[in-house]
Amino acid sequence: MESHGSLTGRLTRATAHLTGPVAVVDLDRFDANAAELLGRAGGLPVRLATKSVRVRSLVDRALAAGFSGLMTTSLAEALWHAGHGARDALVGYPSVDVAALAELAADPRARAAVTLMVDDVAQLALVERALDDAGADPAGPPVQVCLDVDASLRLRLGPLTLHVGTRRSPLHAPDDVARLAARVATTPGLHLRGLMTYEAQIAGLPDDSVAVRAMKRVSARELLGRRDAVLTAVRDAVGRDVALVNAGGTGSLERSAADPSVTEVTAGSGLFVPATFDGYRAFRPRPAAFFGLDVVRVPGPGWATAYAGGYPASGPAGPSRLPRVVTPGWSLTRREGAGEVQTPLRGRHDAAPLAVGDRVWFRHAKAGELMERFAAVHLVRGDQVTDVVPTYRGEAHTFA
């Protein structure tokens, strides 16, 4: 693996003609990560989580490498990608965007390309209303629907229940899923395409303790059996098997792909490999996305101050949500962290000194969120910028 010193040196040479802050993606690393993700899925189709990229040209690059379809954050984003030729966009979260639902209902091509996520009859009511208002042709393509099934682990401890995982969907028991599936199947203009079971407690946690690794094994076994029971209940309720069973994330591709009932897995963060993925054992981290800041002053020996850099990640506030310094020997200060206008840095005794005008390199704590801070990203091979492409923000879109 390339050393941090070698990496930051060539990124600095590649972007020496640019003023920071500057975002870069190393294409060699990006392509290697894409190949590794596809390989880890063992031949099962891998759907791309676009929120982890947020650069349309890199979304297209991943699709060209072998990814199959998109998982978007919002219906508006899915419609945007469909307008640019995407033929299979699964919306990863329920939508209450009335304007976007109206656009979907009125456009047969969009209905053929986009699949909505639901977990509640209230969401279905909005879709039905949009279809009625649009006067959609009953003979045209139906609105495709996917049910979001809660994949968290629930452990009985006497009279108590321990919930391990995120609080996503209210659909947990097979009977609950079957009832909503039957409602979709009997509603004119709708088609039940499949189910999603995102096991955040497996895919979203680093393997940094014996307890976490044990929990992941227990959760994977429980979900294997419950997913099969859910599919059986849905089959009995609607009289057929569903075509799509989506699962997994970058941190759980092997486990999810091993379930014979799963038809596809989802990944995205593994293309950039942000700092929160450093503790995973399932794969070897190969960071591909970085941002560089310029040193604007040196308060004293062993200190430096860079311009901007206050790019914290979503999630529970704390040090793990702050950017990680890649430049060897340097780190954020505990008192100030990463700042809106300036980011103070502290160097170890063995760190190469930083001078005014030098560039310091960082990794974001999460993947695609970095791209919300930049209008363009510079694509690098070796120590050369090969292209400059717009982010979603650079194309005047902020979907989440």
Is the pLDDT confidence value at 242 over 60?
yes
In 10 A of CB 39, how many CB atoms?
13
**Res. 198 pLDDT band, cuts 50 70 90:** confident
Candidates 397, 357, 360, 288; CA nearest to 32 is: 288
How many CA atoms does the CB half-sphere of 269 hold within 13 Å?
23
CA dist 60 and 67 (Å) reads 9
Closest CA to 319 of 377, 365, 253: 365
Lowest mean pLDDT among 197-206, 288-297, 316-325: 197-206
pLDDT digits (tens, 9 = 90+) for 200-232: 656 555 656 666 676 667 666 777 678 889 999
pLDDT digit string, tens, across residues 112-123: 999 999 999 999
* C-beta separation of 389 from 57 below 8 A: yes
Considering Cα of 310, then 315, then 317, then 318, what sign does the dihedral take?
negative
First and final CA of the chain: distance in angstroms? 34
pTM over 0.75: yes
Distance CA 306, CA 292 (A): 9
Q: How many residues does the chain have?
A: 400
Residue 278 near residue 263, CB atoms below 8 Å: no
The confidence band for 191, taking pLDDT boundaries of 50, 70 and 90, is very high
pLDDT of residue 321: 94
Residue 136's pLDDT band, with cuts at 50, 70 and 90, is confident
pLDDT surpasses 80 at 9:
yes
Q: What is the pLDDT of residues 344-400, one digit of tens each?
A: 999 999 999 999 999 999 999 999 999 999 999 999 999 999 999 999 999 999 997
Instruction: Tell me the mean pLDDT in the region 85-108.
Output: 97
pLDDT digits (tens, 9 = 90+) for 64-90: 999 999 999 999 999 999 999 999 999
pLDDT score for 251: 84
Contact between 265 and 246 under an 8 Å Cβ cutoff? The reply is: yes
Structural element, H or E, at residue 330: strand 330-332
The more confidently predicted of residues 313 and 210 is: 313
The pLDDT value recorded for residue 202 is: 61
Cβ atoms of residues 178 and 234 within 8 Å: yes
Burial 360-392 (b: 16+ CB within 10 A, else e): bbbbbbbbbbbbebbeebbbbeeeebeeebbbb
- The answer to whether 243 and 192 have CB atoms below 8 angstroms apart is no
User: What distance in Å separates the CA atoms of residue 357 and residue 120, rounded to the nearest whole number?
Assistant: 54
Given a cut of 90, whether residue 268 has pLDDT beyond it is yes
| pLDDT in the model for residue 284 | 79
The candidate with the shortest Cα–Cα distance to 394, out of 59, 78, 79, 55, is 55
Residue listed under structure tokens 């941002």: 291
- Residue 215's pLDDT is 62
Confidence class for position 22, pLDDT limits 50, 70, 90: very high
Structural contact between residues 246 and 195, judged by C-beta atoms closer than 8 angstroms: yes
Indicate whether 292 pLDDT > 90: yes
What are 20's two structure tokens?
């920071």
CA–CA separation, 16 vs 333, rounded Å? 26
Write down all domains in the chain, each with its CATH number in brackets.
Answer: 1-26+287-400 (2.40.37.20), 27-271 (3.20.20.10)
Q: Please work out, in degrees rounded to the nearest 5, the angle formed at the alpha carbon of residue 83 by the alpha carbons of 80 and 88.
A: 85
Q: For residues 291 and 171, which has the higher predicted lDDT (pLDDT)?
A: 291
Q: What is the mean pLDDT of the chain?
A: 91
Residue 317 half-sphere exposure, CB side, CA atoms within 13 Å? 2
Helix intervals (H) in 15-55: 27-40
C-alpha distance from residue 376 to each of 111, 115, 275, 339, 388 (Å)? 31, 29, 21, 21, 7
Residue pair 254/42 in contact (Cβ under 8 Å)? The answer is yes
146-158: per-residue pLDDT in tens?
Answer: 999 987 766 666 6
Contact 27, 380 (CB under 8 A): yes
pLDDT at 248: 87
Q: What is the mean pLDDT of residues 285-310?
A: 96
CB atoms within 10 A of CB 358: 17
Mean pLDDT (whole number) for 176-192: 96
CA gap 26, 91 in Å, rounded = 28
Q: Answer whether residue 132 shows pLDDT above 70.
A: yes
The reported pLDDT for the residue numbered 102 is: 97
